[in-house]
Chains A and B, each alone.
Chain A
């Protein structure tokens, strides 16, 4: 089954404790992206990757890191999480990017709480 998976689905952590949220897709997609969803703000893009070893900032990259060493995986790293990073995080992928002919598939989400 074609899908985007995220782990963990739920995480409660404390300020300053490094964490990684994994994202994996099995559709051989070149494009992957991370978003955060906050009430009243919709989804905001954190980072995206057009291909292996190619990453770029979205609208809210501060406090986050990403890497794209292989096509299927796009982990999101919080080196020193803070309470304002408490949010619902979504990973997404598509074949080549955001376009009228390409469909973006979303993962189920990771709910992160930073105390």
Chain B
């Protein structure tokens, strides 16, 4: 079945460091891929998304490229801030306008001043 695997956290970085959070998936065809962010005590918010191979999603300085050949959707940011401290979830949806969404286990990011 479909699945999403994220790198284990927590990830602890200093402010202005480069961030990579790995995400790989298992699915047939061309799923849509998403990154969600959960700030402390809040619900999830969509961060970025991509729908086909080589698509790059971007938002708030974060980027992720849909790599079909490696079945990956790694999240990157060139210079993290303390305010980026949160839990990041990679997710997959099979097909278009579907109802099912599969999440990875989440990666906690802590950014220190």
Q: Which residues of B contact A24 (CB under 8 A)?
A: none
Q: Are B106 and A100 within 8 A (Cβ)?
A: no
Bound together, the chains give a CA A49 to CA B99 distance in angstroms of: 7
Interface size on A, residues (CB 8 A): 30
Per-residue A-contact encoding for B49-79, CB less than 8 Å = 1, 0 else? 1110000000000000000000000000000
Q: How far is the CA of A58 from the CA of B6 in the complex (A)?
A: 20
How many chain B residues touch A (CB < 8 A): the figure is 24
Chain B residues near A103: list those with CB within 8 A.
46
* Interface of A, helix, strand, loop or mixed by DSSP: strand
Residues of A within 8 A of B99 (CB): 31, 33, 48-50, 56, 97-98
Assess whether B44 is in contact with A90, with CB atoms less than 8 Å apart: yes
Are A98 and B46 interface neighbours, CB within 8 A?
A: no
Interface membership of chain A positions 104-115, coded 1 if the CB is closer than 8 angstroms to chain B and 0 otherwise: 101111000000
Nearest CB on B from A61, distance (A): 12
Task: Evaluate contact between B97 and A98: CB separation under 8 angstroms.
Answer: yes
- Cβ–Cβ contact B105 & A108, under 8 A: no
Residues of chain B whose beta carbon lies under 8 Å from any beta carbon of chain A:
4, 6, 32, 42-46, 49-51, 89, 93, 96-106
4 additional A-B pairs beyond A42-B89, A108-B42, A109-B43, beta carbons within 8 Å, are: A59-B100, A90-B43, A92-B43, A103-B46
